[in-house]
Structure formats: structure tokens, C-alpha cells
Amino acid sequence: MPDRRTFIKQSFATAGALGLGGIMNTASAANTRSTVVFDAMGEIREVYDQALLKEMLDSGLNAITKTMCDPKTYEHEALEVALAGIRSFDQWIAANSSQVLKATSVADLDAAQQDGKIAVFYLVQNSTPFGKNLDRVDSFYSLGLRSVQITYNYQNWAGAGCKERTNSGLSEFGIELVNKLNETGMLVDCSHANMQTMADTIRTSRVPIIVSHTGCMAIHQNIRNTTDENLKLLADNGGVVGIDQIRPHITRLRDGAVQHYYDHIQHAINVCGIDHVGIGSDRDHRYIDLTPEYLDELRAEQGANLNEDDLPWFMVELNGPRRMETIWDGLKKRGLSDDALEKVMGANVRRIYSETIG
């Protein structure tokens, strides 16, 4: 980044710092307000205290899109958990208003950046809270929801997820839903969709869409990753892909996994172009230890989705709230220019939010 923008400067306490428990970081970020650092889909939990939020802010993070509820729900339960999630998180933001701000527009992001807060955008990772009632889109919009994932892992009314047995694409109702989301001013997300549903959605949407958290199938074969064909289609239609930090999506290796993460980002840039790639961590910002208590937490959240042989999900180098600094420096060493880094770290995601939700 140009000297006029002192962005992220860090020094690592590397000796003895790495292990499954996380990475110790003695970095401090200077003035970051001239640069947008936007996690296109990451975790920010109600158990986060002010000290952790301060570390996230100090790392340069300006904005994050947060999932409101368990996406593995259907019908009336999906509606109830989504409404409860929004109510609960509204209360948490109100209690932590010195550090976070509920964002429903890019103007809110800019205000949060100016005031040294994290702008939090609301997402549902499955369209099941709407059922087949498009009027609910308006209701959720009025509650502050601004991004909707068409499917989660399996079939719903709108389309097929990546784990669905068939290769069916966007349904007739799904087409209606995409049109309604466009009309309402919500960002359409195709993470977790199968490739046909993703392609259909990109072609149906009148405005660019996002695949907020995925990896590159050409680099690592995983059911959650996206083919080059769809990455190119996404970019050709103005969209953005966020590369996630779930280690099994990126590599089977545990040691040095972050280098493979950079491989995914560079591959996405090669396929999509520099204006269409961002960061969507899909990760907890706490320092994670694989304690019995944490494993119990994962089991309760994930149920049958959890394969404990895949743990840890985190990459050691990115375990904790200062990860954006690590990514910046790692991509800088890979040869990305300062302008390119600004785009990947947040400007591209800000752009698509500006074009869709305003």
C-alpha cells in the first residue's frame, strides 16, 4: 500500500508461537480508515467480548457479513430461528455499540469506518426462512437483512445445494426469488449451491451476485469449491468470489496450509481478474484450541455435518482475530501490488454491496 496509507505493519513472535492453539501476534495496525477490509462472510459471535473486538478492529477489519441463524432448518422452524437470530443480534450490537454497528447500506459501512467500528451486515445462509412466500423478503428487509444465500447444502424450494444427489438447478420458484431479491435490493449469494444452481442464478440475476465463501475446485477437489467455469461466469457478470479459510476446503495438509490458501486466491485472480476476488473467511475470529469444550460446541452446532477427521478447520497461521494482517503480508510476498491488495482485502466486496444494496 502507498506510504500515504499506512495500513498494516506487523512483526510476529514466531518462536514457539505456532501450534494447534493458534498464532501469537505482536502486530499493531496503524490508521486503516482509508482502506476497506471486508470479510464477505465470517463469524462474529455474541460471546465475543470487547477485548476480542478490539483485536479485530486493530487488525484493520472494517466490515463483516454475519450469518443470522442455523441454515440447516426448514419450513416454520427456519422462519422462527431466523427471526430469533436477528432479534438476538440486534440486542448484542446495541450492547456493544462503541465497537460494532448494524449495517444496511454502504453508507453505514463508511460511517463505521470513520468512527472506528466494525460494520455488520446480516445474511441468511439458506432461503428456507421465506418458505414459498415472497412477501417475507420485504419483511426481512425491513428487519435489516441484506444478503440471502439461495441454498445451503441440500435441496430447498429455490434450488439444489452442493451435497444434493441430483444436479438440478434453480427452480421456477428460485427464479422468482432471485428476481424478488434483485427488486428489493438484497445481495444474492450462491455459496453452498451446486454448480448448476450457481450458474442458473448468475444468469438469472439482473445485478451481480456473490459467492461469499468457497475455494477453487481446480486447486483442491472439495464439494464446497467452485469450478473455473463458474468462477469465470461469475466474473463475466460482475460478481465477486470470496475465498474461505476452512482448511479442508483448501488443502488436506495441516502444516503450512496458509500457502495453499494463497494459491486459491491467486488462482481465482487468474481466472476472474483482480476486480472479482475477495476474502470470505467462514471462520471464527477467536483463538481456537481443540479442547473438549470446543469440540462439544462444534458437535452441537454441526450435528451430522461434522467430520472430526477434518479437524482442525482452521489454518494455524490464520487462527485468531489478526488474520487479515497475515493475509495482507502473505499476498504481498506473493507479488500482489498495493492496489491489488486493496481490492482483494475489501474494495471488491464493497463495490458489489454498493451495486446491489446501495
Structure confidence by residue, pLDDT tens digits, 60-100: 999 999 999 999 999 999 999 999 999 999 999 999 999 99
Q: What is the pLDDT of residue 34?
A: 65
CATH of domain 23-356: 3.20.20.140
Q: What is the pLDDT of residue 4?
A: 24
Q: What is the pLDDT of residue 295?
A: 81
- Rounded to whole angstroms, how far apart are CA atoms 300 and 304? 10
Q: What is the pLDDT of residue 29?
A: 38
Do 32 and 56 touch, CB atoms closer than 8 A? no
pTM, two decimal places: 0.89
Q: What is the pLDDT of residue 309?
A: 74
The 3-state DSSP class for residue 321 equals coil
C-alpha atoms less than 13 angstroms from C-alpha of 351 in its C-beta half-sphere: 17
For the four alpha carbons of 240, 244, 249 and 252, in that order, the dihedral sign comes to positive
Is the pLDDT at 289 greater than 90? The verdict is: no
How far is the first Cα of the chain from the last one, in angstroms, to the nearest whole number? 27
Average pLDDT over residues 259-276: 98
Segment 22-49, tens digit of pLDDT: 333 323 333 334 689 999 999 999 999 9
Is the pLDDT at 236 greater than 80? The verdict is: yes
